[in-house]
């Protein structure tokens, strides 16, 4: 479903990836770890092809970084839900409007739009907050709305870039539980994090970025 194949990438002669290879299967939950500067965010951007490899290629579903055309990028990105550490919600709009906006730009309207918004809000436990403005929500609630936004188009893959970085431990566990349920339903999840406590509580596979390459971590107690 997703594979990195001998990927090479440098920033201004600063090596980031060298012969980077790994794959993720459908409905698999995978943690992505590594020191600051190891390239986690760069890797995530390569999945939705905001950054392209300088060598090798990234394959996501039917899309390849070798052959992708700009006009195809919107189709690719509809199949990837993205969750950020800082939420990136529209502060001047209500919860409902934040989610409806995502559907409107893909042509969903009327009763189908309302049904989808209610469905994803129920999934994250915030159907009663749909009329609230974003600033009226706690950090944990805002991240739940960000998750609802990420899943509303029923993507094949969720990528989460430090989604619990600004949250307390209890709320972080709640976010992990929600993403685990989404994965169990059939959506792949790639969860980039520095929170090794969360990693050790979960049975998902762990990939570590180190020295420009990706390695599977067999013993989470070693991280």
Average pLDDT over residues 45-57: 97
Q: Residue 14 forms beta bridges with which residues?
A: 11
Q: Which CATH number fits domain 2-79+155-222: 3.90.320.10, 1.10.1670.10, 3.40.50.300, 3.40.50.720?
A: 3.40.50.300
Percentage of residues in the chain having pLDDT higher than 70: 100
Closest CA to 142 of 84, 201, 73: 84
**DSSP assigned state of 135:** G
pLDDT in tens, 104-136: 988 999 999 999 999 999 999 999 999 999 999
Q: What pLDDT was estimated at residue 129?
A: 96
pLDDT of 60 strictly over 90:
yes
Pairing of strands 55-60, 29-33: unpaired
CA end-to-end span of the chain, whole Å?
27
The predicted model scores a pTM of 0.94
Q: What pLDDT was estimated at residue 201?
A: 87
pLDDT of 222 strictly over 90:
no
pLDDT of 221 strictly over 90:
no
Q: Which helix (H) or strand (E) holds 12?
A: none
pLDDT of 181 strictly over 90:
yes
Q: What pLDDT was estimated at residue 117?
A: 97
Residue spans of the domains in the chain: they are 2-79+155-222, 91-154
Q: Tokens for 92, please give them.
A: 């001047």
């Amino acid at each position: 479903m997703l594979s990195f194949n001998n990927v090479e990438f440098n920033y201004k002669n600063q090596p980031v990836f060298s012969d980077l290879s790994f794959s993720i299967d459908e409905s698999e939950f995978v943690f992505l770890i590594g020191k600051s500067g190891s390239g986690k965010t760069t890797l995530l951007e390569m999945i939705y092809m905001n950054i392209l490899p300088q060598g090798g290629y990234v394959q996501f579903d039917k899309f390849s970084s070798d052959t992708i055309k700009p006009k195809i990028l919107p189709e690719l990105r509809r199949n990837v839900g993205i969750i950020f550490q800082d939420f990136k919600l529209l502060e001047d709009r209500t919860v409902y409007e934040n989610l409806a906006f995502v559907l409107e730009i893909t042509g969903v309207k009327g009763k189908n739009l309302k049904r989808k918004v209610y469905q994803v809000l129920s999934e994250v436990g915030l159907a009663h907050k749909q009329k609230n403005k974003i600033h009226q929500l706690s950090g944990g609630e805002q991240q739940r709305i960000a998750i609802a936004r990420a899943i509303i188009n029923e993507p094949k893959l969720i990528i989460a870039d430090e989604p619990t970085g600004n949250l307390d431990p209890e709320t972080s566990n709640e976010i992990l539980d929600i993403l685990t349920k989404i994965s169990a339903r059939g959506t792949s999840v790639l969860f980039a994090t520095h929170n090794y406590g969360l990693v050790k509580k979960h049975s998902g596979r762990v990939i570590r970025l180190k020295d420009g390459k990706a390695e599977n971590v067999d013993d989470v107690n070693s991280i």
